[in-house]
Amino acid sequence: GGLRGEAVYRAEIGADGVTIGKLSALYQGQFGRIRAVVASAGKYLYITTSNTDGRGDPHAGDDKIIRLNLP
**Domain residue ranges of the chain, discontinuous segments joined by +:** 8-69
Residue 7 and residue 29 in contact, taking contact as beta carbons nearer than 8 Å: yes
- Flag whether pLDDT at 16 surpasses 70: yes
Kindly report whether the global pTM for this prediction surpasses the value 0.75.
no
State pLDDT tens for residues 3-14: 677 888 889 999
Task: Write down the pLDDT at residue 59.
Answer: 76
Task: Write down the pLDDT at residue 41.
Answer: 86
State pLDDT tens for residues 21-62: 999 998 898 988 888 999 998 899 999 988 876 666 777 778
Task: Write down the pLDDT at residue 1.
Answer: 61
Query: Taking the CB of residue 15, how many other CB atoms lie within 10 A of it?
Result: 6
